[in-house]
Amino acid sequence: MLKLLIFTLYFYVFRCQYYRFMKQLKNLLSKETSPYLLQHANNPVAWQAWDDSILKFAKDNNKLLLISIGYSACHWCHVMEHECFEDEGVAGLMNQNFINIKVDREERPDVDHIYMNALQIMTGQGGWPLNIVALPDGRPIWGATYLPKKKWMGSLLQLKDLFVKAPEHMIEYAEKLSKGMHQLNTLVATENENISFTSSFLSETVKNWQTKFDLENGGFKGAPKFMMPNNLSFLLRYGFQQNDRKILDFVESSLEKMAQGGIYDILGGGFSRYSVDERWHIPHFEKMLYDNAQLIELYSDAYTVFKNEAFKNIVEESIEFVQRELKAPEGYFYSSLDADSFTTNQAKEEGAFYVWKKEELQHLLKNDFELFAAYFNINRNGYWEDQKYVLIQTKTSQEITDLSSISEIELKQRIKNCKKILFKERQKRDAPGLDDKGLTSWNAMMIKALAKAYKVFQHKEYLDRTKKALNFITNNLLNELQLYRSYKNKKSISATLEDYAFLIDALLEIYQTTYEASYLELAKQLTEKVIEEFYDEKSKFFFYTSKEVQLIQRTIDTQDNVIPASNSVMAHNLFKLSKFYLKTEWEHIARTMLQKIQPQIKDFISGYSNWLSLYLNFTESFYELVFSVENKINIKKIQQTYLPQVLVASAENKIPLTLGKKFKDELYYLCENSSCQAPEKVLENVLMKLQH
């Protein structure tokens, strides 16, 4: 009888604990501000946001973690949500056996880095949605991207059973995987002091890379096809400094082809994330702030080299798009537009906002339809699927005028009218979803892009927008040099190295736009903070997270992708600031980083293009130009000249570089390796030296 009583009491306590546990497992995402997390707030899955207390909860209850990572504009994230996470049966399986954590990769790239590294080790592939099952302590043991419902449930059942029957196997695998993940932070050990930087290494690297160039369509061979602005930015600089006409022709052709493809929104401006084909025709329709920021900067630079009017139009239209669709009233910039939107049948479809049916175009454009159809390929070339067309330009204006027997002036005017009609009609459609959080690093990229566009085109409103956005960041996301990553109604989440690095980069650009020393001083102070909080003496690189952030691993980001690696951006910052402030120790850090990276470059050249740009600083002449002039026309000439190998400062600013330089009359001091030439009185003479 006593045994029965004890058993009953034990069962009652266990049941109470179980129900208390299940009651705690409810969907808590409605408390979040991330648009991606809020998209999942009504799922029957008991999602919770990433939080240290959740990890403790998992350990205390010995439950596996199911970590699902994505972002607001991710098409396949939406598909998996509909097929799996909105399903009551799937949710029941997940809730009973796992602690379910949803992560916005844009908000928490530090978490994403860790588990993406794990997935790539486990499967050799990456992508989103990124789904990871981990031990209660956070160490990963299984991963996959999109899976349909049947495979998803089957995988989870197997993992649940293995955790119950043979947890030691999972622990053993987790330990091996953790070792592999930590090894990713270890670059090839080299006596880096013995590695010298040579022009021959650069020329051989570019020669090998040329086998990957798509000379027909522009960009790089293969599909899906990303624009990779940082790759083209390096090649623009390399071709310019080496006077390599073939490389320059490739860059100009690539920029033209991208702008003529469906990946560029010819009605509303701005680029989509990538194309699924080799000829830039069918985009993955999401539009990201970081892509458009980098491309605005690239097309601005390219205009200074090629004087191609089409590039100027791309910059102006893309800035207009960002201003119209991604600018918050407070002045900062939203993150992205979704690939999907609702059709007239209230079904969500990818690209529904952007594509056209032939009948629609005929009805709207009337007598101009045939001309428009020839210009933008309402034919086999422009056909996508389901009677839909994505606008793409394959013929020159001259070819169209020859076929149509009209003047180029008339062609431009009629096409312009057609675009106005279609843009107005498109505005009546349901717009793609907006991810309205502001990210510090992506805003910094846009701030830099606007500053660059202002310098090249001298539109005052670009500078006004630059300052307003930067003021928002410094007033709302910066507190005594402590930077925050994300903003939506309030600041949240400590900044990563990416945020600091890109903000410093933007400040350096704005200083060389306005010559207001406060921007340069803030860049210096933030760099000192980064060295204190992120630098790793052992690897000689910077961790992605500060020493204050507690995760299962501190990753080191060195490989350039669609966004340059945070370490490569930081190395550029250190190099530039070492020149402004004559801090040789900062140049030494940048040099050491590059020396340790150099052996990696030959195996994956496109993954190190920002490092290669830094490499040019050491193999070719690099200058500092200090001017003493109030003549705004000459300042404008400096700003509108492509000078990637020059830092510009005003003698009016009292910084180490400018000390001893007179601020009177009109003088230009050209310096190299801490040695300055005699001051020059004629700007054209200085520019001639720099461009030859």
Q: How far apart are CA 219 and CA 230, in angstroms?
A: 12
Run of H or E residues at 610: helix 609-619
Question: What value does the CA radius of gyration of the chain take, rounded to a whole number of Å?
Answer: 27
What is the token pair recorded at 264? Answer: 């560029």
440 vs 184, residue with greater confidence:
440
| Residue type at position 371 | L
By three-state DSSP, how is residue 66 classified? strand
Average pLDDT over every residue of 569-577:
98
**What integer pLDDT is reported at residue 16 of this predicted model?**
43
**What integer pLDDT is reported at residue 432 of this predicted model?**
94
Q: How far apart are CA 316 and CA 459, in angstroms?
A: 10
By three-state DSSP, how is residue 188 classified? coil
Domain ranges of the chain: 10-183, 204-341+435-619, 354-428, 623-690
Chain centroid, CA 273 distance in Å: 10
Q: Is 80 exceeded by the pLDDT of residue 378?
A: yes
**How many beta carbons lie within 10 A of that of residue 348, not counting itself?**
17
**What integer pLDDT is reported at residue 187 of this predicted model?**
65
Q: Is 90 exceeded by the pLDDT of residue 550?
A: no
Torsions phi, psi for 133 (to 5 deg): -105, 130
Q: DSSP for 316-382?
A: HHHHHHIIIIIB-TTS-B--EE-SEEE-TTS-EEETTTT-EEHHHHHHHHGGGHHHHHHHHT-STTT
Encode pLDDT of 248-301 as tens digits: 999 999 999 999 999 999 999 999 999 999 999 999 999 999 999 999 999 999
Report the b/e string of 588-609 with b at 16+ CB within 10 A: ebbbbbbbbbbebbeeebbbbb
What is the token pair recorded at 411? Answer: 């062609």
**What integer pLDDT is reported at residue 389 of this predicted model?**
96
Torsions phi, psi for 287 (to 5 deg): -115, 125
Report yes or no: 70 and 34 within 8 Å, Cβ to Cβ.
no
**Whole-prediction pTM:** 0.92
Q: Is 60 exceeded by the pLDDT of residue 193?
A: no
**What integer pLDDT is reported at residue 19 of this predicted model?**
39
- State the number of CA atoms in the 13 A half-sphere of 316 facing the CB: 11
Spatial CA neighbour of 636 closest among 304, 298, 201, 160: 304
Encode pLDDT of 480-512 as tens digits: 999 999 999 887 789 999 999 999 999 999 999
Average pLDDT over every residue of 33-46:
94
Burial of 302 (0-12, 13-18, 19+ CB in 10 A): buried
Q: How far apart are CA 582 and CA 686, in angstroms?
A: 22
Q: What is the dihedral of CA 676, 524, 456, 472, to 10 degrees?
A: -160
Encode pLDDT of 325-337 as tens digits: 999 999 999 999 9
Structural fold of domain 10-183: Glutaredoxin (3.40.30)
Report the b/e string of 516-542 with b at 16+ CB within 10 A: ebebbbbbbebbebbeebbbeeebebb
Q: Is 60 exceeded by the pLDDT of residue 153?
A: yes
> What percentage of the chain exceeds 90 in pLDDT?
80
Encode pLDDT of 409-442 as tens digits: 999 999 999 999 999 999 999 999 999 999 999 9
Average pLDDT over every residue of 439-465:
98
Report yes or no: 228 and 187 within 8 Å, Cβ to Cβ.
no
Encode pLDDT of 515-537 as tens digits: 999 999 999 999 999 999 999 99
Which residues are paired to 623 by β-bridges?
A: 646
Average pLDDT over every residue of 657-680:
87
- State the number of CA atoms in the 13 A half-sphere of 578 facing the CB: 21
**What integer pLDDT is reported at residue 341 of this predicted model?**
84
Encode pLDDT of 399-414 as tens digits: 999 888 899 999 999 9
Strand 64-70 to strand 48-49: parallel, antiparallel, or no bridges (unpaired)? Answer: unpaired
Run of H or E residues at 291: helix 289-306
By three-state DSSP, how is residue 599 classified? helix
Helix axes 149-165, 88-97, angle to 10 degrees: 20
**What integer pLDDT is reported at residue 22 of this predicted model?**
44
Encode pLDDT of 49-106 as tens digits: 998 777 788 888 899 999 999 998 888 898 999 999 999 999 999 999 999 999 999 9
**What integer pLDDT is reported at residue 649 of this predicted model?**
95
Run of H or E residues at 161: helix 149-165
Spatial CA neighbour of 467 closest among 442, 450, 483, 480: 450
**What integer pLDDT is reported at residue 382 of this predicted model?**
94
**What integer pLDDT is reported at residue 84 of this predicted model?**
96
Q: Is 90 exceeded by the pLDDT of residue 321?
A: yes
Q: How far apart are CA 590 and CA 613, in angstroms?
A: 12
Is-cis flag, bond preceding 148, omega within 30? no
Strand 478-479 to strand 438-439: parallel, antiparallel, or no bridges (unpaired)? Answer: unpaired
**What integer pLDDT is reported at residue 74 of this predicted model?**
86
Angle at CA of residue 332, ends 331 and 336, nearest 5°? 130
Encode pLDDT of 329-363 as tens digits: 999 999 999 988 887 777 788 899 999 999 999 99
According to the 3-state scheme, what is the secondary structure of 485-540? EEECCCEEEECCHHHHHHHHHHHHHHHHHHCCHHHHHHHHHHHHHHHHHHEECCCC
**What integer pLDDT is reported at residue 436 of this predicted model?**
95
Q: What is the DSSP letter of 295?
A: H
Run of H or E residues at 624: strand 623-628
Look-up of token digits 């989870």:
156
Q: How far apart are CA 646 and CA 23, in angstroms?
A: 62
**What integer pLDDT is reported at residue 650 of this predicted model?**
93
Look-up of token digits 């991606």:
36
Mean pLDDT of the chain: 92
Structural fold of domain 204-341+435-619: Glycosyltransferase (1.50.10)
| Residue type at position 633 | I
**Greatest pairwise CA separation for the chain in angstroms:** 106
**What integer pLDDT is reported at residue 55 of this predicted model?**
79
**What integer pLDDT is reported at residue 25 of this predicted model?**
64
Q: Is 70 exceeded by the pLDDT of residue 7?
A: no
- State the number of CA atoms in the 13 A half-sphere of 55 facing the CB: 13
**What integer pLDDT is reported at residue 26 of this predicted model?**
86
**What integer pLDDT is reported at residue 24 of this predicted model?**
53
Q: How far apart are the first and last CA of the chain?
A: 100
Q: Is 60 exceeded by the pLDDT of residue 10?
A: no
Which residues are paired to 628 by β-bridges?
A: 667
